[in-house]
């Protein structure tokens, strides 16, 4: 086989609640450090980079939502990976439109390109074994198959879809796919596992762009027109490609499995026997975290005393979590929210989020750090008439030219150098210098430097909401 390039398509528009409070709508689990220092998204991008004896990975295509567009590039920069393209979905429409958009985008320049579609919130502890499975799938993809990867089940999981093979897999080569089974009932699962012909559908696919496009044309033709239009009329914006909102909204909200693969022919399965998890619950995270002899796992500033079968996670350095005499308890502590759940209820964490949402608590959906195009901020303290924020501006980051009607602001630069405009005056503000923005003054903050700039903002005023902002000019075209 000739030397082959594989283009990863990283799907990261999803946002679940099952790992709350770590995962929130504003900052879903793929962007969080769930296992190890790097985020799941970073681990995925790293796993799908570099080269193997059989193939090399091209720069990845990222498909994500508006809210996450700066996170996806920032997190790649952190680990030294350049994105090939970042496609912005105007709204989440499940995987079928996302994959189609990526395929259409790359097909413009290279219809023969081999795509590896991958979720970014799963864990695959053995990247070498996984690359071997990809290599095993390349010949099938090269002859026009749509290749799926099937995970050898280690438990009767009813929450997954299954891939049925004609015969039990006996080696690592591709096998024809007989059928898909979506989330079966327990009796069916039991029967399937006994038969040995069923593998988990991990949402990982390998195919040529032109082959998957042909499959969409054949099996989901109504998707093709709107998504093609959304791609063709996409707006380039600061290195992102914003899919056309009007056209994209007309695409059906449906998974690629339902829309295309379940109807397609020429499907192959590569069995994957290595460890894999979709980290679909804290129970799954406990399973993947190194445990002590009593089956308890701790991470961060967490201490377990006489605990068994428990997961204790502190998500902040300055927050000590202590478990005492716990059995089968999951405790996850953050500075603004703490979950304590019985392990048997790990699937019901969404109820915690619902309870907070019903009481309009920001913790239901918003993470403590608010990511913006230019960096991020977090509130350190909110008083009746004052608020203190820590603001980090990335190198080159430029906040909008703005003013506030109800508040004045003090800025103290504590790391790096800021360029500050107030009215007609622009000046550099160095570490340990401060400036005052009077109420009503038109102002702008920039980081002209090469390092992140950190400043402490002290707001004073009678109303301190984020919506007291008049944007006079904005690099990132926000209203």
Residues binding its own copies (CB under 8 A): 21, 301, 303, 305-306, 312, 314, 318-327, 329, 331, 333, 335-342, 344-345, 348-349, 351-352, 355-356, 359, 361, 363, 380-383, 385-386, 388, 390, 408, 410, 412, 414-415, 431-432, 434, 436, 454, 456, 458, 460
Please give the Cα distance from 390 to 454 (Å, whole number): 7
Closest to 183 measured CA to CA, from 90, 257, 273: 257
Q: How far is the CB of 441 from its own copies (least distance, A)?
A: 13
Closest to 40 measured CA to CA, from 25, 19, 57, 26: 19
* Region of residue 14 (left: phi > 0; alpha: psi -120 to 50; beta: else): beta
Q: How far is the CB of 406 from its own copies (least distance, A)?
A: 12
Please give the Cα distance from 164 to 199 (Å, whole number): 7
53 vs 360 by CB, closer to its own copies: 360
35 vs 464 by CB, closer to its own copies: 464
Q: How far is the CB of 366 from its own copies (least distance, A)?
A: 12
109 vs 432 by CB, closer to its own copies: 432
79 vs 338 by CB, closer to its own copies: 338
Closest to 49 measured CA to CA, from 28, 69, 73, 79: 79
Strand stretches in 107-242, DSSP E: 114-119, 146-151, 162-165, 175-181, 198-208, 235-237, 240-242
Q: How far is the CB of 461 from its own copies (least distance, A)?
A: 8
Q: How far is the CB of 378 from its own copies (least distance, A)?
A: 8
Closest to 136 measured CA to CA, from 54, 44, 45: 54
Closest to 445 measured CA to CA, from 406, 407, 479, 410: 410
Please give the Cα distance from 297 to 283 (Å, whole number): 11
At residue 36, φ and ψ (nearest 5 deg) are 85, 180
Contact between 375 and 388 under an 8 Å Cβ cutoff? The reply is no
19 vs 234 by CB, closer to its own copies: 19
Q: How far is the CB of 449 from its own copies (least distance, A)?
A: 16
Would you call 78 exposed, middle or buried from its count of C-beta atoms within 10 A (0-12, 13-18, 19+)? exposed
Q: How far is the CB of 299 from its own copies (least distance, A)?
A: 14
**Residue 66 CA from chain centroid, whole number:** 12
2 vs 381 by CB, closer to its own copies: 381
The pair of structure tokens assigned to 43 is 């681990």
196 vs 325 by CB, closer to its own copies: 325
Closest to 264 measured CA to CA, from 299, 217, 213, 215: 215
Would you call 167 exposed, middle or buried from its count of C-beta atoms within 10 A (0-12, 13-18, 19+)? exposed
64 vs 394 by CB, closer to its own copies: 394
Contact between 51 and 128 under an 8 Å Cβ cutoff? The reply is no
Q: How far is the CB of 156 from its own copies (least distance, A)?
A: 22
Neighbours of 300 (CB within 10 A): 17
| Residue 318 DSSP label | T
Q: How far is the CB of 304 from its own copies (least distance, A)?
A: 9
Q: How far is the CB of 77 from its own copies (least distance, A)?
A: 21
185 vs 466 by CB, closer to its own copies: 466
254 vs 439 by CB, closer to its own copies: 439
254 vs 301 by CB, closer to its own copies: 301
Length of the chain, please? 479
Q: How far is the CB of 444 from its own copies (least distance, A)?
A: 20
């Amino acid at each position: 086989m000739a030397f082959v390039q594989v283009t990863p398509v990283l799907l990261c528009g999803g946002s679940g609640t099952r790992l709350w409070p770590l995962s929130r709508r504003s900052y879903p689990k793929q962007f969080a450090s769930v296992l190890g220092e790097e985020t799941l998204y970073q681990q995925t991008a790293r796993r799908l980079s570099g080269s193997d004896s059989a193939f090399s990975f091209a720069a990845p295509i990222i498909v994500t939502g508006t809210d996450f567009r700066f996170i996806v590039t920032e997190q790649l920069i952190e680990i030294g990976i350049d994105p090939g393209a970042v496609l912005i979905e105007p709204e989440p429409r499940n995987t079928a439109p996302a994959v189609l958009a990526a395929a259409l985008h790359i097909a413009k320049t290279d219809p023969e390109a081999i795509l590896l579609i991958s979720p970014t919130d799963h864990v695959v502890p053995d990247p070498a074994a996984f690359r071997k499975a990809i290599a095993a799938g390349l010949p099938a993809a090269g002859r026009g198959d749509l290749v799926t990867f099937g995970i050898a089940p280690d438990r009767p999981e009813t929450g997954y879809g299954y891939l049925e093979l004609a015969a039990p897999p006996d080696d690592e080569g591709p096998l024809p796919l007989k059928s898909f089974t979506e989330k079966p009932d327990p009796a069916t699962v039991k029967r399937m596992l006994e038969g040995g012909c069923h593998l988990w559908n991990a949402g990982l696919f390998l195919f040529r762009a032109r082959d998957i496009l042909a499959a969409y044309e054949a099996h989901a033709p109504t998707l093709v027109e709107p998504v093609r239009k959304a791609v063709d009329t996409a707006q380039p914006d600061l290195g992102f490609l914003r899919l056309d909102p009007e056209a994209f909204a007309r695409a059906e909200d449906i998974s690629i499995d339902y829309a295309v693969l379940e109807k397609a022919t020429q499907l192959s399965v590569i069995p994957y026997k290595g460890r894999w998890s979709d980290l679909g619950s804290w129970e799954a995270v406990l399973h993947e975290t190194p445990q002590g002899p009593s089956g308890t796992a701790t991470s961060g500033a967490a201490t377990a005393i006489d605990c068994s079968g428990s997961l204790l996670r502190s998500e902040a350095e300055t927050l000590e979590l202590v478990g005492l005499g716990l059995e089968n308890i999951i405790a996850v502590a953050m500075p603004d929210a703490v979950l304590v759940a019985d392990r048997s209820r790990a699937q019901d964490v969404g109820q915690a989020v619902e309870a907070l949402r019903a009481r309009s608590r920001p913790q239901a959906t918003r993470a403590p750090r608010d990511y913006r195009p230019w960096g991020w901020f977090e509130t350190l303290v909110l008083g009746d008439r004052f608020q203190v924020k820590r603001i980090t501006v990335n190198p080159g980051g430029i906040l909008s030219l703005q003013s506030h009607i109800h508040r004045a602001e003090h800025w103290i630069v504590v790391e790096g150098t800021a360029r500050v405009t107030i009215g007609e005056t622009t000046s550099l503000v160095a570490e340990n210098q401060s400036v005052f923005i009077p109420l009503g003054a038109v102002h702008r903050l920039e980081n002209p430097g090469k390092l992140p700039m950190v400043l402490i903002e002290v707001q004073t005023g009678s109303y301190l909401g984020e919506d007291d902002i008049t944007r006079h000019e904005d690099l990132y075209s926000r209203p």
